[in-house]
Amino acid sequence: MWIVGSIIFGAIVGSFLNVCIYRIPKGESIVFPGSHCPHCQQAIPFYDNIPLVSYLLLRGKCRHCQGPISLQYPLVEGVTALSSFLLFSRFGISWSYLFYFLFIASLIVITVIDLYHQIIPDVISLPGIGVGLIASFILPQLTFLNSLIGILLGGGSLFLVATFYQWVFKREGMGGGDVKLLAMIGAFLGWRAVILTILLGSLIGSIIGIIIMMVKGKDLKYAIPFGPFLSLGAAVSLFCGQTIITWYLHLNK
């Protein structure tokens, strides 16, 4: 029963995250007004705003104007629901579930906004650093010192990642937004996870970058945002970090 509840709760939060993704870059309020269709501006009634279900029932079209509803909406709702389920399965009803779910939700919003606009909003990453530090006083698996070193290492590793990125893509690609994001990741997950996140993010980013270069030709004109790769690396660190570290240490025996 609780498992089902965690999935439904995740989908509802995911629906709210879609609102944040749409409105934060525009500087609009995330509370008022209610949801509107971006094509015909018609207000969306509650029965057409049920996470995942409405998209399927409406077959991805606005009831009023038949305009297409972006696949982003069910995707974000689905990924948020899955994250809630995975965290709940591991932590149950606990502060750990609450803080890590907040963390993952922030990463989802940052990822999609960065993909669309190539920016990482400070209104998410900066408070995120503070919330992560507060979490270190409450969560048993995170000490204050670990969180603090995580922030410093995440913020200070700009040089390392920027150099690596420049080496791989032959141009500057790191922004200040990525640094604040890494500091937030360090605050929530500690300094080991920062290192793992940089390694995983760079690895995934390089693979995707090389694939895009092969498909689109050598000339990589447009910027590939780094935030989504860092977010993905952080999520992998959270869910399987211990497994990866154990495996790595075992390799070096």
Enumerate binding residues for Zn ion (CB under 5 A): 37, 39-40, 62, 64-65, 67
Return the number of the residue (67 or 156) whose C-beta is nearest Zn ion: 67
Contact 227, 181 (CB under 8 A): yes
Return the number of the residue (37 or 162) whose C-beta is nearest Zn ion: 37
**Minimum gap (Å) between residue 33 Cβ and Zn ion:** 15
**Minimum gap (Å) between residue 66 Cβ and Zn ion:** 7
Could you give the CA distance from residue 198 to residue 36 in angstroms, rounded to a whole number?
Answer: 38
Apex 158 CA angle, 112 and 171, nearest 5: 75
**Minimum gap (Å) between residue 76 Cβ and Zn ion:** 19
**Minimum gap (Å) between residue 14 Cβ and Zn ion:** 21
What 3-state DSSP class applies to 1?
coil
> 165 Cβ partners below 8 Å, 6+ apart?
172, 173, 174, 202, 205, 226
Could you give the CA distance from residue 134 to residue 139 in angstroms, rounded to a whole number?
Answer: 9
Return the number of the residue (43 or 123) whose C-beta is nearest Zn ion: 43
Return the number of the residue (35 or 94) whose C-beta is nearest Zn ion: 35
Residue 232 burial (CB count, 10 A): 18
Residue from 129, 178, 143, 142 nearest 157 by CA: 178
**Minimum gap (Å) between residue 202 Cβ and Zn ion:** 41
Return the number of the residue (61 or 192) whose C-beta is nearest Zn ion: 61
What 3-state DSSP class applies to 43?
strand
**Minimum gap (Å) between residue 111 Cβ and Zn ion:** 26
Could you give the CA distance from residue 132 to residue 9 in angstroms, rounded to a whole number?
Answer: 22
Apex 198 CA angle, 192 and 200, nearest 5: 100
Return the number of the residue (39 or 117) whose C-beta is nearest Zn ion: 39
> 141 Cβ partners below 8 Å, 6+ apart?
96
**Minimum gap (Å) between residue 249 Cβ and Zn ion:** 55
Return the number of the residue (37 or 213) whose C-beta is nearest Zn ion: 37
